Structure 1
Amino acid sequence: MSAISRRKLLVAGAVGLAAPVALSSRADASTTATRVPRPRPLRRAHAHNDYEHERPLLDALDHGFTSVEADVWLVDGDLYLGHDGPNPSMTLRSHYLDPLRRIVRQQGHSVFPGWKGSLRLLIDVKSDGPAAYPVLQRQLAAYPELMTSWVHGRRRRRPVTAVLSGTLANIVAPDSDTRWFGFDGRIGRLPAGATAAQIPLVSDNWINHFTWLGVGPMPADQRAKLHRQVAELHAGGYQVRYWNTPDLALPSREAVWRELLAADVDVLNTDDLAGLQAFLLAND
């Protein structure tokens, strides 16, 4: 067992006996929740650090989110969820892949009944990317009816599409074999040879490009830059997301969201599921 594995498992020792009960309860809750009609799917809604909500995945779906983010760490051959380190009681399979397979099977091969879209599962790899790559390939390949694949560069869309970020962001991978994920790109830094087939989503930190944080009108030059960035990426077939935008329930957050909508940004990033749901239902 690796050093990080021993350290993280020792941290969990105090609650280790309770973990099976918690996981069982969560599994029961997910099975029950899948029988409840889902709300209207919101094509721009992305749940940042989704696994930190009381019910990972399920809370986001209950608010109509069509994109969720899972931070993963490779420890002893498995992928554990967590932001600052792996949580030994939460894996990508137990909290995302298995529940999504149940949901899709129960709801007519769709995450939302009657919805023709594909849920984005943004997998932010926090540990060593090259080591995690083959593990992600193997795990996602075990869900062929669920996961979108790329076979010799040609996409076969399924109810869930994985996009890799973090230490596996901004990559152009060979199209010689079957691939079970696309990659998250970086604005202004896309690698040579990048296409939307390889990199379906392009994301970046808002403050890397803009100083305006929603207080007062957006400066005209920054608004023009935002519209120009989005238009150029859309022309290449990419979808666009900015993270680290204001996310407290204040007028500044809504001001930024309104500018993102006006520029036709594809993905709005939030920790506040109810807040973004209400905003999009009223404005989008």
Structure 2
Amino acid sequence: MKRLFTACLLLGTIQAGLSQTNFKYRPSAHSHNDYEQIKPLENAYALGFGSIEADVYVQNGELMVAHERNEIKPERTFRQLYLTPLLKLVRQHEGYPYPGHHPLQLMVDLKDAEALPLLEHLLKSHQFELKQVRFVVSGNMPRPEEFKNYDPIINFDGRRSQSYAADAKARVPLISADFKEFSTQAWDGITPLPKEVESKLKTFVAQAHANGQKTRVWGTPNTALAYQTLQKIGLDYIGSDQLDKLAATLN
């Protein structure tokens, strides 16, 4: 009963945020480590973020959301923080998580190998309702040749250094990379991005798009210039821990 009340309260708060006249859907905005926000899911959702990320561990047969294992709290389950509110939202918006028939990507960073079968079991019973929520698992993933062994509701976060056979590639809608793969020097996000790094990033985006895949780069600065630069380059998902700043920049 307590979990149901919490989920209903969260949903009510989310809906109140969406009723604001300044609501805007931001498909390229990615809430990095979303569970560390004061209000997980709610903050990013109210800002219309197209992608949200959560780290999960397994504890006592339950998927728990936390950055480190020692930070796990009993009430912070994947089911309570993300799945239950999302199910309520899609039931209110004609099968879509957002009003206006806008989809959502939920990235689930698996910290334990046994997390994937649990996640699959949890999602399979809701696969029809959640068809407009794209679940992409990252972190502790199986080998590409094993992708086909999992229910189609599960997608996988690709890597630019990895080759994928046709059947595996069909399960990889997103290619992610570390910024360090493009530059040996850290970028402060205050000075302009060097042209040679910008060129490498543009090539990465172009190659992924040619394969029908979207792109994400982690390890980029949380500055307005960085957001604007990555948007200009054509990166599909721009990650941030500072949601209001990213939303304002993408306006």
Q: TM-score range by the shorter chain?
A: 0.7 to 0.9
- Residue 118 of structure 1: which of 95, 103, 108 is its match? 103
Q: Provide the C-alpha distance between the structure 2 equivalents of 1:219 and 1:169, rounded to a whole number of angstroms.
A: 36
RMSD: 2.2
With the length of structure 2 as denominator, give the TM-score of the two structures: 0.88
Deviations 1:41-82 (A, max 9, x none): 101011111111122111111111111111000122211000
1:135 alignment partner in structure 2: 118
Q: CA deviation at 1:196?
A: 4.5
- Residue 166 of structure 1: which of 114, 139, 143 is its match? 139
Structure 1 residues 1-284: aligned runs within 5 Å? 26-36=6-16, 38=18, 39-85=23-69, 86-115=72-101, 117-127=102-112, 129=113, 131-147=114-130, 158-168=131-141, 171-175=144-148, 178-187=151-160, 189-193=161-165, 196-210=169-183, 211=185, 213=187, 214-247=189-222, 253-281=223-251
Contact 1:81 1:92 in 2 (8 A): yes
Name segments (4+ residues, structure 1) moved above 6 Å: none
Residues 88 and 177 of structure 1: CA distance in aligned 2, closer, same or farther (over 3 Å): closer
Q: Provide the C-alpha distance between the structure 2 equivalents of 1:246 and 1:109, rounded to a whole number of angstroms.
A: 35
Q: Provide the C-alpha distance between the structure 2 equivalents of 1:100 and 1:78, rounded to a whole number of angstroms.
A: 18
Name which one, 1 or 2, has greater alpha-carbon Rg: 1
Q: CA deviation at 1:177?
A: 6.2
Q: Which amino acid aligns with 2:165?
A: G
Q: CA deviation at 1:197?
A: 2.0
Residues 239 and 133 of structure 1: CA distance in aligned 2, closer, same or farther (over 3 Å): same
Q: CA deviation at 1:170?
A: 7.0
Q: CA deviation at 1:101?
A: 0.5
Q: Which amino acid aligns with 1:233?
A: A
Structure 1 gap segments, 5+ residues each: 1-19, 148-157, 248-252
Q: Provide the C-alpha distance between the structure 2 equivalents of 1:178 and 1:220, rounded to a whole number of angstroms.
A: 42
Taking every aligned residue pair, what percent have the same amino acid on both sides? 31
Between the two proteins, the alignment pairs up a number of residues equal to 242
With the length of structure 1 as denominator, give the TM-score of the two structures: 0.78
